[in-house]
Amino acid sequence: MNITVIGSGYVGLVSGTCFSDMGNRVTCVDIDSKKIEKLNKGIIPIYESGLEQMILQNVKNKNLFFTTELAEALKNSDIAFIAVGTPMGDDGSADLQYVLSVAKSIGQTMQKRLVVVDKSTVPIGTADKVKATIQKELDIRKSDLEFDVVSNPEFLKEGVAIADFMKPDRVIVGSDSEYAIDKMKELYHPFCMSRDRFMSMDIRSAEMTKYAANAMLATKISFMNEIANICEKVGADANQVRLGIGSDKRIGYSFIYPGVGYGGSCFPKDVKALTKIAKENGYEPQLISAVEKVNDAQKSVIAQKIVKRFGEDLTGLTFGIWGLAFKPGTDDMREAPSIYVIKELVKRGAKIKAYDPKAIDEAKEHYLKGLEKVEYVGSKYVKRSVYVNGYSLG
């Protein structure tokens, strides 16, 4: 199949590469010309285990292409994935400007029947907006080209994204078009060989499934952090309690490690967006709002512990931070709790020696840019530091 993936970030690049690895002809599009230039030179702009090798192999096999030219990419495509960012807007809702701008460009440039797939995490009802935006452009062109809009949320985890994509727990496809569902089934067939993982449903339920999944996982994390905080007060060992409850199959071991709170590019913004969606639709979400509150408080727990131990003035002390990214195995620093912890310590006069196997460049160039008193080190073990683990779960 010929596929276009629009947005070549963590999700777009991994999805496009995995589709190409299954023998499809995939063109990944991005408006960031520097990113595309790098990709065309074989330089991979993000770190994800196994991704570089897979990209290079599929480029060599002429299954995978990179361009900034959407019109060119869409010429022969049967399916176009929208995988651009949906960052948190000022009011906490998901900012749809990138998704709708892509929809507009698709309407302006598509040349044949197309299945347009929302892979970005988007509020319920976005597929309708995407459909209306494309149709408006086709009407301007006086074109009667057919198209379908499908919701296919992505559940990959950064750090193990390739494995997750190649062997998904499930593939959720929301659509009201038999043609589109058939196309999606055909595309995902090689990923569902060992058992049926393909689940089709109506579009709104598919859009909601993604938010519900992330809210559930975030709830587990906040729940366990709250239990750990109570454990400390009553003299119980949170780790023993974790093992004790995780062994119950109904609870399970995943996502119940106490830590510095969840971070990353998904949970914080998706939990906030779901709260906003609920409120806009006349429902006051009490549990989900509490999950966010607990998480916000959890980010300051390490700084509070340090202040309790060393006092408010941390001048003359150097702290080692292990882990800058929001979790191991990625260079993604979006909403990483380490940013919060480091800023709290630096504010009180401390020096930082920070180590991360993948995310130091991201920290230097973006998230901790210009922050004095932060030194980046090439090894975990640097003398005379108090070590703090900055990873969250997510």
Active-site positions? Answer: 266
Q: Which is nearer to ligand NAD, 128 or 313 (CB)?
A: 128
Work out whether strand 386-389 and strand 374-376 pair parallel, antiparallel, or are unpaired. Answer: unpaired
Those residues with Cβ within 8 angstroms of residue 111's Cβ, 6 or more apart along the chain or in another chain: 71, 74, 75, 145
CA distances from 97 to 45, 103, 129 (A): 23, 10, 11
Q: Which is nearer to ligand NAD, 129 or 348 (CB)?
A: 129
Q: Hey, what are 123's tokens? A: 């509020």
The gap between the terminal CA atoms of the chain, to the nearest Å, is: 33
Find the shortest distance in angstroms from Cβ 177 to ligand NAD.
Answer: 22
Give yes or no for residue 322 binding ligand NAD (CB under 6 A). Answer: no
Nearest-angstrom CA–CA distance, 112 and 73? 12
Give yes or no for residue 376 binding ligand NAD (CB under 6 A). Answer: no
* DSSP assigned state of 274: H
Restricted to residues 76-95, the positions that interact with ligand NAD (CB under 6 A) are: 83-86
Work out whether strand 2-6 and strand 25-29 pair parallel, antiparallel, or are unpaired. Answer: parallel
Considering only residues 26, 29, 321, 341, which one is a binding residue for ligand NAD as defined by CB under 6 A?
29
Considering only residues 4, 10, 77, 123, which one is a binding residue for ligand NAD as defined by CB under 6 A?
10
Contact 57, 26 (CB under 8 A): no
Q: At what angle do helices 10-21 and 51-60 cross, to 10 degrees?
A: 50
Find the shortest distance in angstroms from Cβ 118 to ligand NAD.
Answer: 9
Nearest-angstrom CA–CA distance, 7 and 351? 38
Give yes or no for residue 212 binding ligand NAD (CB under 6 A). Answer: no
Give yes or no for residue 151 binding ligand NAD (CB under 6 A). Answer: no
Those residues with Cβ within 8 angstroms of residue 281's Cβ, 6 or more apart along the chain or in another chain: none
Stretch that binds ligand NAD, among 151-159, 228-236, 243-251, 357-365 (CB under 6 A): 151-159
Give yes or no for residue 352 binding ligand NAD (CB under 6 A). Answer: no
Give yes or no for residue 356 binding ligand NAD (CB under 6 A). Answer: no
x/- track of binding to ligand NAD for residues 102-141 (CB under 6 A): x-----------------xx--------------------
Give yes or no for residue 30 binding ligand NAD (CB under 6 A). Answer: yes
Give yes or no for residue 218 binding ligand NAD (CB under 6 A). Answer: no
Residue type, 174: G
Residues that bind ligand NAD (CB under 6 A): 6-12, 29-32, 35, 83-86, 98, 101-102, 120-121, 154, 156, 158, 265-266
